[in-house]
Structure 1
Amino acid sequence: MNPAVDAFLITIPPLVVYLTVGLVVGIESLGVPLPGEIVLVSAALLSSRHELEVSPGWIALAAVGGAVIGDSIGYAIGRRYGMGLFVWAGRKMPRHFGPSHVAAAERLFARWGMLAVFFGRFIALLRIFAGPLAGALRMHYPRFLIANVLGGICWAAGTTFAVYFLGIVAERWLQRFSWIGLVVAVIAGLTIGAVVKRRTARLVEDEG
Protein backbone atom coordinates (compact mmCIF):
# COMPACT_ATOMS: atom_id res chain seq x y z
CA MET A 1 0.00 0.00 0.00
CA ASN A 2 1.15 3.54 -0.65
CA PRO A 3 -0.09 5.77 2.20
CA ALA A 4 0.87 8.99 0.40
CA VAL A 5 -1.23 8.19 -2.67
CA ASP A 6 -4.14 7.00 -0.54
CA ALA A 7 -3.99 10.14 1.58
CA PHE A 8 -4.04 12.34 -1.52
CA LEU A 9 -6.95 10.54 -3.18
CA ILE A 10 -9.05 10.58 -0.03
CA THR A 11 -8.73 14.38 0.17
CA ILE A 12 -10.50 14.85 -3.18
CA PRO A 13 -14.14 15.79 -2.46
CA PRO A 14 -16.57 13.64 -4.49
CA LEU A 15 -18.39 16.79 -5.59
CA VAL A 16 -15.20 18.02 -7.27
CA VAL A 17 -15.00 14.75 -9.23
CA TYR A 18 -18.63 15.02 -10.38
CA LEU A 19 -18.29 18.68 -11.36
CA THR A 20 -15.05 17.99 -13.24
CA VAL A 21 -16.66 15.17 -15.23
CA GLY A 22 -19.74 17.21 -16.06
CA LEU A 23 -17.72 20.30 -17.00
CA VAL A 24 -15.17 18.55 -19.22
CA VAL A 25 -17.78 16.39 -20.97
CA GLY A 26 -20.03 19.43 -21.38
CA ILE A 27 -17.31 21.61 -22.90
CA GLU A 28 -16.26 18.80 -25.24
CA SER A 29 -19.89 18.31 -26.30
CA LEU A 30 -20.10 22.04 -26.89
CA GLY A 31 -17.56 21.59 -29.67
CA VAL A 32 -14.25 22.17 -27.89
CA PRO A 33 -11.79 19.26 -28.29
CA LEU A 34 -11.18 18.08 -24.71
CA PRO A 35 -10.46 14.52 -23.42
CA GLY A 36 -13.97 13.91 -22.09
CA GLU A 37 -13.77 10.16 -22.44
CA ILE A 38 -10.44 9.93 -20.61
CA VAL A 39 -11.79 12.05 -17.74
CA LEU A 40 -14.90 9.85 -17.53
CA VAL A 41 -12.83 6.65 -17.48
CA SER A 42 -10.51 8.03 -14.82
CA ALA A 43 -13.41 9.13 -12.61
CA ALA A 44 -15.12 5.77 -13.00
CA LEU A 45 -11.94 4.04 -11.89
CA LEU A 46 -11.73 6.29 -8.85
CA SER A 47 -15.30 5.30 -7.96
CA SER A 48 -14.21 1.66 -7.79
CA ARG A 49 -12.09 2.61 -4.79
CA HIS A 50 -14.78 2.45 -2.11
CA GLU A 51 -12.76 4.34 0.47
CA LEU A 52 -12.97 7.44 -1.74
CA GLU A 53 -16.78 7.60 -1.47
CA VAL A 54 -17.12 8.53 -5.14
CA SER A 55 -20.37 7.19 -6.59
CA PRO A 56 -20.40 5.72 -10.11
CA GLY A 57 -24.08 6.64 -10.36
CA TRP A 58 -23.37 10.32 -9.79
CA ILE A 59 -20.45 10.17 -12.22
CA ALA A 60 -22.72 8.73 -14.91
CA LEU A 61 -25.39 11.34 -14.14
CA ALA A 62 -22.83 14.17 -14.31
CA ALA A 63 -21.56 12.90 -17.65
CA VAL A 64 -25.08 12.57 -19.07
CA GLY A 65 -25.94 16.07 -17.89
CA GLY A 66 -22.76 17.50 -19.35
CA ALA A 67 -23.31 15.71 -22.65
CA VAL A 68 -26.94 16.80 -23.05
CA ILE A 69 -26.43 20.39 -21.93
CA GLY A 70 -23.19 20.82 -23.87
CA ASP A 71 -24.68 19.40 -27.06
CA SER A 72 -27.76 21.60 -26.70
CA ILE A 73 -25.67 24.74 -26.28
CA GLY A 74 -23.55 23.66 -29.23
CA TYR A 75 -26.74 23.14 -31.24
CA ALA A 76 -27.88 26.69 -30.44
CA ILE A 77 -24.49 28.12 -31.43
CA GLY A 78 -24.45 26.16 -34.68
CA ARG A 79 -27.98 27.25 -35.50
CA ARG A 80 -27.05 30.88 -34.84
CA TYR A 81 -23.81 31.04 -36.85
CA GLY A 82 -24.33 28.30 -39.45
CA MET A 83 -21.55 26.60 -41.40
CA GLY A 84 -19.42 29.74 -41.18
CA LEU A 85 -18.67 28.65 -37.62
CA PHE A 86 -16.73 25.66 -38.93
CA VAL A 87 -14.79 27.77 -41.41
CA TRP A 88 -13.65 29.93 -38.50
CA ALA A 89 -12.93 26.87 -36.31
CA GLY A 90 -10.96 25.27 -39.15
CA ARG A 91 -8.61 28.25 -39.23
CA LYS A 92 -8.14 28.16 -35.45
CA MET A 93 -7.95 24.37 -34.95
CA PRO A 94 -7.24 22.70 -38.31
CA ARG A 95 -6.35 19.37 -36.68
CA HIS A 96 -9.89 19.01 -35.37
CA PHE A 97 -12.00 21.12 -37.73
CA GLY A 98 -10.17 20.79 -41.03
CA PRO A 99 -12.19 20.77 -44.27
CA SER A 100 -12.00 16.96 -44.57
CA HIS A 101 -13.33 16.48 -41.01
CA VAL A 102 -16.19 18.92 -41.55
CA ALA A 103 -17.09 17.39 -44.92
CA ALA A 104 -17.07 13.84 -43.49
CA ALA A 105 -19.23 14.82 -40.50
CA GLU A 106 -21.66 16.73 -42.75
CA ARG A 107 -22.11 13.74 -45.06
CA LEU A 108 -22.69 11.42 -42.11
CA PHE A 109 -25.34 13.75 -40.71
CA ALA A 110 -27.03 14.12 -44.07
CA ARG A 111 -27.11 10.35 -44.52
CA TRP A 112 -27.93 9.12 -41.01
CA GLY A 113 -29.64 12.02 -39.22
CA MET A 114 -30.58 11.05 -35.66
CA LEU A 115 -28.39 7.95 -35.79
CA ALA A 116 -25.37 10.16 -36.43
CA VAL A 117 -26.18 12.09 -33.26
CA PHE A 118 -26.70 8.91 -31.23
CA PHE A 119 -23.62 7.01 -32.38
CA GLY A 120 -21.61 10.23 -32.59
CA ARG A 121 -21.40 10.14 -28.81
CA PHE A 122 -19.06 7.12 -29.18
CA ILE A 123 -16.79 8.63 -31.88
CA ALA A 124 -14.43 11.53 -31.15
CA LEU A 125 -14.98 13.23 -34.50
CA LEU A 126 -18.75 13.33 -34.15
CA ARG A 127 -18.74 13.94 -30.40
CA ILE A 128 -17.35 17.45 -30.87
CA PHE A 129 -19.33 18.05 -34.08
CA ALA A 130 -22.75 16.70 -33.13
CA GLY A 131 -24.31 19.72 -31.44
CA PRO A 132 -22.94 22.59 -33.56
CA LEU A 133 -23.31 20.71 -36.85
CA ALA A 134 -26.88 19.61 -36.10
CA GLY A 135 -27.75 23.23 -35.41
CA ALA A 136 -25.98 24.51 -38.50
CA LEU A 137 -27.80 21.94 -40.64
CA ARG A 138 -31.13 22.96 -39.05
CA MET A 139 -31.94 19.50 -37.69
CA HIS A 140 -35.33 19.50 -35.94
CA TYR A 141 -34.42 20.13 -32.28
CA PRO A 142 -36.83 17.60 -30.66
CA ARG A 143 -35.34 14.85 -32.85
CA PHE A 144 -31.84 16.03 -32.02
CA LEU A 145 -32.65 16.11 -28.30
CA ILE A 146 -34.04 12.55 -28.28
CA ALA A 147 -30.94 11.16 -30.02
CA ASN A 148 -28.70 13.32 -27.84
CA VAL A 149 -30.24 12.13 -24.56
CA LEU A 150 -30.30 8.45 -25.55
CA GLY A 151 -26.74 8.58 -26.85
CA GLY A 152 -25.54 10.40 -23.74
CA ILE A 153 -27.16 7.87 -21.42
CA CYS A 154 -25.79 4.83 -23.27
CA TRP A 155 -22.30 6.30 -23.58
CA ALA A 156 -21.99 7.76 -20.08
CA ALA A 157 -23.70 5.00 -18.10
CA GLY A 158 -22.20 2.21 -20.20
CA THR A 159 -18.66 3.55 -19.94
CA THR A 160 -18.93 4.42 -16.25
CA PHE A 161 -20.25 1.09 -15.02
CA ALA A 162 -18.11 -1.02 -17.35
CA VAL A 163 -14.97 0.70 -16.07
CA TYR A 164 -16.29 0.69 -12.49
CA PHE A 165 -16.67 -3.09 -12.43
CA LEU A 166 -13.36 -3.50 -14.23
CA GLY A 167 -11.73 -1.45 -11.48
CA ILE A 168 -13.32 -3.60 -8.77
CA VAL A 169 -12.02 -6.77 -10.39
CA ALA A 170 -8.54 -5.26 -10.77
CA GLU A 171 -8.57 -4.12 -7.15
CA ARG A 172 -9.43 -7.60 -5.92
CA TRP A 173 -6.60 -9.19 -7.86
CA LEU A 174 -4.04 -6.48 -7.15
CA GLN A 175 -4.88 -5.33 -3.66
CA ARG A 176 -1.25 -4.75 -2.76
CA PHE A 177 -0.98 -1.86 -5.20
CA SER A 178 -2.93 1.15 -3.96
CA TRP A 179 -2.01 3.08 -7.13
CA ILE A 180 -3.56 0.50 -9.47
CA GLY A 181 -6.52 2.77 -10.23
CA LEU A 182 -4.25 5.56 -11.40
CA VAL A 183 -2.07 3.24 -13.47
CA VAL A 184 -5.08 1.62 -15.13
CA ALA A 185 -6.61 5.06 -15.73
CA VAL A 186 -3.51 6.23 -17.60
CA ILE A 187 -3.23 3.02 -19.64
CA ALA A 188 -6.97 2.97 -20.41
CA GLY A 189 -6.94 6.65 -21.34
CA LEU A 190 -3.98 6.24 -23.70
CA THR A 191 -5.52 3.12 -25.25
CA ILE A 192 -8.89 4.78 -25.76
CA GLY A 193 -7.21 7.84 -27.23
CA ALA A 194 -5.24 5.74 -29.71
CA VAL A 195 -8.29 3.67 -30.73
CA VAL A 196 -10.48 6.75 -31.15
CA LYS A 197 -7.79 8.51 -33.19
CA ARG A 198 -7.46 5.55 -35.57
CA ARG A 199 -11.24 5.18 -35.82
CA THR A 200 -11.62 8.88 -36.59
CA ALA A 201 -8.90 8.82 -39.25
CA ARG A 202 -10.50 5.78 -40.87
CA LEU A 203 -13.93 7.41 -40.76
CA VAL A 204 -12.64 10.57 -42.44
CA GLU A 205 -10.83 8.49 -45.07
CA ASP A 206 -13.91 6.39 -45.82
CA GLU A 207 -16.18 9.40 -46.10
CA GLY A 208 -13.65 11.59 -47.91
Structure 2
Amino acid sequence: MSDFWDIVQHLFNPRWIFLYFGNTALFILLAIVFAETGFFIGFFLPGDSLLFTAGIFGKDLSKNFYNVPFFIIILIVAIVAVLGNIQGYWLGYKSGKLLYKKKDSFFFKKKHLILAKIFYNKYKTTALIMSRFLPMFRSFAPIIAGAIRIDFKKFMIYNIIGALTWTFSIMLAGHYLDKRFPELKNHLEWIILLIIFTTTLPVILKLIIKKKALI
Protein backbone atom coordinates (compact mmCIF):
# COMPACT_ATOMS: atom_id res chain seq x y z
CA MET A 1 0.00 0.00 0.00
CA SER A 2 2.85 2.38 0.86
CA ASP A 3 4.36 1.75 -2.58
CA PHE A 4 1.03 2.71 -4.19
CA TRP A 5 0.85 6.03 -2.34
CA ASP A 6 4.49 6.72 -3.17
CA ILE A 7 3.60 6.39 -6.86
CA VAL A 8 0.53 8.64 -6.43
CA GLN A 9 2.66 11.33 -4.79
CA HIS A 10 5.28 11.05 -7.52
CA LEU A 11 2.62 11.59 -10.19
CA PHE A 12 2.36 15.15 -8.89
CA ASN A 13 6.09 15.59 -9.48
CA PRO A 14 6.39 16.24 -13.25
CA ARG A 15 10.17 15.96 -13.22
CA TRP A 16 9.95 12.44 -11.74
CA ILE A 17 7.53 11.36 -14.48
CA PHE A 18 9.88 12.34 -17.30
CA LEU A 19 13.00 11.01 -15.61
CA TYR A 20 11.53 7.73 -14.37
CA PHE A 21 9.24 6.61 -17.19
CA GLY A 22 11.39 7.53 -20.19
CA ASN A 23 9.74 6.03 -23.28
CA THR A 24 6.26 5.95 -21.71
CA ALA A 25 6.37 9.47 -20.20
CA LEU A 26 4.61 10.96 -23.22
CA PHE A 27 1.70 8.53 -22.86
CA ILE A 28 1.32 9.48 -19.18
CA LEU A 29 1.31 13.14 -20.22
CA LEU A 30 -1.39 12.46 -22.83
CA ALA A 31 -3.51 10.49 -20.36
CA ILE A 32 -3.38 13.31 -17.79
CA VAL A 33 -4.15 16.01 -20.38
CA PHE A 34 -7.19 14.03 -21.56
CA ALA A 35 -8.43 13.23 -18.05
CA GLU A 36 -8.16 16.86 -16.91
CA THR A 37 -10.97 17.96 -19.21
CA GLY A 38 -12.56 14.65 -20.15
CA PHE A 39 -13.73 13.83 -16.61
CA PHE A 40 -14.80 16.14 -13.80
CA ILE A 41 -12.33 14.49 -11.40
CA GLY A 42 -9.42 15.81 -13.46
CA PHE A 43 -9.23 19.21 -11.77
CA PHE A 44 -6.58 18.02 -9.30
CA LEU A 45 -4.20 16.72 -11.98
CA PRO A 46 -0.96 18.68 -12.65
CA GLY A 47 -1.62 19.68 -16.29
CA ASP A 48 0.13 23.08 -16.46
CA SER A 49 3.21 21.98 -14.56
CA LEU A 50 3.38 18.80 -16.62
CA LEU A 51 3.29 20.72 -19.92
CA PHE A 52 5.92 23.16 -18.73
CA THR A 53 8.17 20.33 -17.60
CA ALA A 54 7.52 18.51 -20.89
CA GLY A 55 8.90 21.57 -22.64
CA ILE A 56 12.02 21.44 -20.51
CA PHE A 57 12.49 17.76 -21.30
CA GLY A 58 11.34 18.22 -24.92
CA LYS A 59 14.55 16.89 -26.38
CA ASP A 60 14.25 13.66 -24.38
CA LEU A 61 10.56 13.31 -25.26
CA SER A 62 11.34 13.55 -28.96
CA LYS A 63 14.22 11.10 -28.68
CA ASN A 64 12.08 8.56 -26.80
CA PHE A 65 9.20 8.89 -29.28
CA TYR A 66 10.78 7.80 -32.57
CA ASN A 67 12.83 11.01 -32.80
CA VAL A 68 9.85 13.01 -34.05
CA PRO A 69 10.30 16.82 -33.96
CA PHE A 70 9.26 18.53 -30.76
CA PHE A 71 6.69 20.52 -32.74
CA ILE A 72 4.89 17.25 -33.54
CA ILE A 73 4.97 16.27 -29.86
CA ILE A 74 3.19 19.51 -28.95
CA LEU A 75 0.68 19.00 -31.76
CA ILE A 76 -0.13 15.49 -30.47
CA VAL A 77 -0.70 16.89 -26.97
CA ALA A 78 -2.96 19.61 -28.42
CA ILE A 79 -5.05 17.03 -30.28
CA VAL A 80 -5.52 15.00 -27.09
CA ALA A 81 -6.49 18.22 -25.27
CA VAL A 82 -9.16 18.82 -27.92
CA LEU A 83 -10.45 15.26 -27.52
CA GLY A 84 -10.55 15.65 -23.74
CA ASN A 85 -12.73 18.74 -24.07
CA ILE A 86 -15.08 16.89 -26.44
CA GLN A 87 -15.43 14.12 -23.85
CA GLY A 88 -16.12 16.77 -21.18
CA TYR A 89 -18.71 18.44 -23.42
CA TRP A 90 -20.63 15.20 -23.94
CA LEU A 91 -20.38 14.38 -20.24
CA GLY A 92 -22.04 17.71 -19.50
CA TYR A 93 -24.52 17.28 -22.34
CA LYS A 94 -25.69 13.91 -21.05
CA SER A 95 -25.48 14.39 -17.29
CA GLY A 96 -24.85 18.07 -16.57
CA LYS A 97 -28.07 18.56 -14.58
CA LEU A 98 -27.37 15.48 -12.46
CA LEU A 99 -23.97 16.85 -11.43
CA TYR A 100 -25.66 19.69 -9.54
CA LYS A 101 -27.47 17.08 -7.44
CA LYS A 102 -24.34 15.00 -6.84
CA LYS A 103 -23.01 14.99 -3.28
CA ASP A 104 -19.50 16.27 -2.56
CA SER A 105 -16.71 13.72 -2.44
CA PHE A 106 -12.92 13.66 -2.50
CA PHE A 107 -12.92 13.89 -6.30
CA PHE A 108 -15.94 16.16 -6.74
CA LYS A 109 -16.82 19.49 -5.15
CA LYS A 110 -20.04 21.18 -6.24
CA LYS A 111 -18.57 24.62 -5.46
CA HIS A 112 -16.03 24.10 -8.26
CA LEU A 113 -18.86 23.43 -10.67
CA ILE A 114 -20.72 26.57 -9.53
CA LEU A 115 -17.61 28.76 -9.81
CA ALA A 116 -16.96 27.37 -13.28
CA LYS A 117 -20.53 28.22 -14.31
CA ILE A 118 -20.11 31.80 -13.06
CA PHE A 119 -16.82 31.99 -14.95
CA TYR A 120 -18.45 30.63 -18.11
CA ASN A 121 -21.45 32.98 -17.87
CA LYS A 122 -19.09 35.93 -17.54
CA TYR A 123 -16.78 35.13 -20.45
CA LYS A 124 -19.14 33.04 -22.64
CA THR A 125 -17.43 30.79 -25.21
CA THR A 126 -14.08 32.57 -24.79
CA ALA A 127 -14.05 30.91 -21.36
CA LEU A 128 -13.02 27.74 -23.19
CA ILE A 129 -9.79 29.48 -24.18
CA MET A 130 -9.15 31.24 -20.88
CA SER A 131 -10.00 28.19 -18.78
CA ARG A 132 -7.15 26.23 -20.37
CA PHE A 133 -4.76 28.21 -18.20
CA LEU A 134 -6.79 27.82 -14.99
CA PRO A 135 -6.63 24.28 -13.51
CA MET A 136 -10.02 24.15 -11.80
CA PHE A 137 -11.95 25.85 -14.61
CA ARG A 138 -10.16 23.80 -17.26
CA SER A 139 -11.89 20.67 -16.00
CA PHE A 140 -15.38 22.12 -15.70
CA ALA A 141 -15.64 24.61 -18.60
CA PRO A 142 -16.37 21.96 -21.29
CA ILE A 143 -18.83 20.22 -18.95
CA ILE A 144 -20.67 23.51 -18.42
CA ALA A 145 -20.66 24.11 -22.19
CA GLY A 146 -22.28 20.71 -22.70
CA ALA A 147 -24.73 21.15 -19.84
CA ILE A 148 -26.10 24.41 -21.26
CA ARG A 149 -25.89 22.86 -24.74
CA ILE A 150 -24.09 25.55 -26.68
CA ASP A 151 -23.72 24.99 -30.40
CA PHE A 152 -21.17 22.20 -30.91
CA LYS A 153 -19.53 23.87 -33.93
CA LYS A 154 -18.95 27.05 -31.94
CA PHE A 155 -17.68 24.94 -29.06
CA MET A 156 -15.18 23.20 -31.35
CA ILE A 157 -13.78 26.47 -32.69
CA TYR A 158 -12.92 27.73 -29.21
CA ASN A 159 -11.91 24.25 -28.11
CA ILE A 160 -9.27 24.00 -30.84
CA ILE A 161 -8.01 27.56 -30.35
CA GLY A 162 -7.76 27.02 -26.61
CA ALA A 163 -5.96 23.68 -26.90
CA LEU A 164 -3.40 25.01 -29.39
CA THR A 165 -2.78 28.18 -27.39
CA TRP A 166 -2.41 26.31 -24.12
CA THR A 167 -0.11 23.53 -25.27
CA PHE A 168 2.14 25.57 -27.55
CA SER A 169 2.57 28.53 -25.17
CA ILE A 170 3.38 26.52 -22.05
CA MET A 171 5.48 23.78 -23.67
CA LEU A 172 7.46 26.23 -25.79
CA ALA A 173 7.97 28.45 -22.73
CA GLY A 174 9.54 25.55 -20.86
CA HIS A 175 11.54 24.50 -23.93
CA TYR A 176 13.13 27.89 -24.64
CA LEU A 177 13.55 28.96 -21.02
CA ASP A 178 15.53 25.77 -20.43
CA LYS A 179 17.78 26.64 -23.37
CA ARG A 180 18.33 30.12 -21.97
CA PHE A 181 18.60 29.04 -18.33
CA PRO A 182 19.78 25.40 -18.09
CA GLU A 183 19.70 25.55 -14.29
CA LEU A 184 15.91 25.85 -14.51
CA LYS A 185 15.60 22.10 -13.90
CA ASN A 186 16.87 22.59 -10.37
CA HIS A 187 14.08 24.98 -9.39
CA LEU A 188 11.01 23.46 -11.04
CA GLU A 189 8.89 23.27 -7.90
CA TRP A 190 9.11 27.00 -7.22
CA ILE A 191 8.46 27.93 -10.84
CA ILE A 192 5.39 25.68 -11.00
CA LEU A 193 3.99 27.12 -7.77
CA LEU A 194 4.53 30.63 -9.13
CA ILE A 195 2.68 29.77 -12.37
CA ILE A 196 -0.29 28.31 -10.49
CA PHE A 197 -0.44 31.19 -8.02
CA THR A 198 -0.23 34.04 -10.53
CA THR A 199 -2.77 32.56 -12.98
CA THR A 200 -5.34 31.13 -10.61
CA LEU A 201 -5.62 33.28 -7.48
CA PRO A 202 -6.83 36.58 -9.06
CA VAL A 203 -9.62 34.87 -11.02
CA ILE A 204 -10.76 32.72 -8.10
CA LEU A 205 -10.91 35.72 -5.77
CA LYS A 206 -12.87 37.73 -8.32
CA LEU A 207 -15.39 34.93 -8.87
CA ILE A 208 -15.80 34.30 -5.13
CA ILE A 209 -16.54 37.98 -4.59
CA LYS A 210 -19.08 37.92 -7.42
CA LYS A 211 -20.67 34.75 -6.05
CA LYS A 212 -21.09 36.34 -2.61
CA ALA A 213 -22.62 39.41 -4.20
CA LEU A 214 -25.25 37.22 -5.86
CA ILE A 215 -26.21 35.45 -2.63
TM range (shorter): 0.7 to 0.9
Structure 1 residues 51, 28: CA separation in 2 closer, same or farther (over 3 Å shift)? Answer: closer
Instruction: Give the C-alpha shift of residue 41 in structure 1.
Output: 1.0
Whole-Å separation in 2 of the counterparts to 1:203 and 1:128 = 19
- Are 1:19 and 1:62, in contact at CA under 8 Å, matched by a contact in 2? no
Q: Distance in 1 between matches of 2:62 and 2:93?
A: 45
Of 78, 98, 103, which residue of structure 1 is paired with 2:110?
A: 98
Indicate if the aligned counterparts of 1:122 and 1:155 stay in contact, CA closer than 8 A: yes
Q: Residue 184 of structure 1 corresponds to which residue in structure 2?
A: 187
1:164 corresponding residue in structure 2: 175
Of the structure 1 ranges 22-31 and 42-51, higher mean CA displacement relative to structure 2 is found in 42-51
Distance 1:43 1:36 in 2: 10
User: Aligned-pair distance for 1:9?
Assistant: 4.3
Contact conserved, 2:118 with 2:207, CA < 8 A, in 1? no
TM-score in terms of structure 2 length: 0.75
- In structure 2, give the amino acid aligned to 1:192: I
Q: Is the 8 A contact 2:52 2:173 kept in 1?
A: no
Match of 2:49 in 1: 38
Displacement of 1:62 in angstroms is 3.0
* Separation in structure 2 between the aligned mates of residue 188 and residue 87 of structure 1, nearest angstrom: 38
- 1:11-90 aligned within 5 A: 12-13=22-23, 16-30=24-38, 31=40, 32-33=42-43, 34-47=45-58, 55-88=69-102
Q: Which residue of the partner structure matches residue 166 of structure 2?
A: 155
Which consecutive unaligned segments of at least 5 residues does structure 2 have?
A: 1-17
Contact 1:124–1:196 (Cα < 8 Å) also in 2: no
SS at match of 1:155: helix
* 1:43-86 deviations in Å (ceiling 9; x for gaps): 11111569956753233223212211111001111100122224
CA deviation digits over 1:121-174, x for unaligned, max 9?
122232011111111111111111110100110111111112110000112xx5
Structure 1 contact 80–136 (Cα < 8 Å) conserved:
yes
Determine helix, strand or coil for the equivalent of 1:58: helix
Where 1:139 maps in the other structure, the secondary structure is coil
TM-score (norm 1): 0.78
The count of residues paired between Structure 1 and Structure 2 equals 188
Provide structure 1 residue ranges, at least 5 long, that are not aligned to the other structure. Answer: 1-7, 175-179
Deviates more, 1:21-30 or 1:40-49: 40-49
Q: Which amino acid aligns with 2:149?
A: R
Higher relative contact order (CA 8 A, sep 6+): 1
Contact 1:28 1:70 in 2 (8 A): yes
Match of 1:4 in 2: none
Measure, in 1, the Cα distance between the counterparts of 2:201 and 2:110: 16
